[in-house]
Amino acid sequence: MSASIVKLLKALVDQGGSDLHLAAGSVPMMRLAGDLNKVEAPVMTTQDVEKVIAEITNQAQREDLKKHKSTDFAIKVSGLSIFRVNVFFQRQGLSAVFRALQEKPPTLEELGLPEVCRKACFYPQGLVLVTGPTGSGKSTTLAAMIDYINKNHQSHILTLEDPIEFQHQSQRCMVNQRQLGTHFTTFSSALTSALREDPDIILVGEMRDKATIELAITAAETGHLVFATLHTNSAPKTIDRIIDTFAADEQGQIRSMLSESLKAVLTQKLVPAIGGGRYLVQDILINNSAVSNLIREGKLHQIPSIMQTGKREGMRVMDQELLEAIRAQKITGHDAWEYANDKKLFLQWAPQDSIQTVVGGSKIGKAS
């Protein structure tokens, strides 16, 4: 790898950034504390980016890029870090995004995660979902939970990832990590195989399709503790998303299965913090008997009210956390408005051009 790219990656790590962006026709940029910043460097040509990509890819990855117009993989830069890389085509040529990863998984304490995350590691079986938008730290949260299990249980942990991000060395547990494209072809095929590999804990990097979701729920029902991710913005919407994946005549059975197998949903976002860095806010749903009944009966709209009153069980409501963070001067009201699920709660901080008054009430949304 060329010295100039190693220098950029080192700067990214040294400054605590998350991503390095390289694109033909642009100067390199780094994402620091959530914002994209230009680097003092020349504009990269198509040839510059192609040279970098050629240095870090193997033949199979280059063929995947040619066939699908994008590819994902991970690289290790000696003495620096592991980087998750996505390469794709754009109008002026190739682009690449390098996501900086920690080789050593973080701990629950280092991330300041709530007690419910530790408790979730002790479920004997069931489905635990960690959800949120891209870049919200889902993989990092799951890595800390797997690390905790690895240090405190005597189990077989099997991870199915795209790509492998944090490297777990077997401690009290046996840890086997498998990567999409390298060790298996699809998540659903890997999950089918996993059920014959004597796992106690299964990590599914992402539940991308109906088959994977159904297999994950089945695995949770049959005695495994399954951790998985989805791209959703709240805990109740996560359940909606899962059920809506199935045809109408299948939804009753899936609601019944989910009501029994689901243990917890942790939805998170990282909000820009006052003074720099990012502040974690979470929606946390614990599947108690009341929630289970609502899922089975299809009354998902009533779940938020249970979350509001379930604080003693570890439940949290993201919008309430945002309001509390404003009062504690951790984040700004404007940023809370941007990240809120129910924007009506944050009207006093809303930009004027984001509020449209309509007959019969207020409609919240970006002005066209």
Virtual torsion, Cα 48, 50, 56, 61, nearest 10 deg: 170
For 73-84, the pLDDT digits (tens) are: 889 898 888 898
Output the CA–CA distances (angstroms, integers) from residue 158 to 155, 175, 190, 227, 364, in the order listed: 10, 6, 10, 10, 44
- Asked if residue 230 has pLDDT above 80, the reply is yes
pLDDT of residue 356: 59
Ranges of each domain in the chain: 3-101, 108-327
- Tell which CATH classification among 3.10.450.40, 3.30.70.2860, 3.10.129.10, 3.40.50.300 matches the domain 108-327: 3.40.50.300
Bridge partners, residue 262, by sequence: 127
Which helix (H) or strand (E) segment holds residue 271: the answer is: strand 262-272
pLDDT of residue 110: 95
Q: Phi first, then psi: give them for residue 233, nearest 5 degrees.
A: -100, -5
Average pLDDT, the chain: 92
Architecture of the domain delimited by 3-101? 2-Layer Sandwich (3.30)
Q: What is the pTM of this model?
A: 0.85
For 43-67, the pLDDT digits (tens) are: 999 999 999 999 999 998 999 999 9
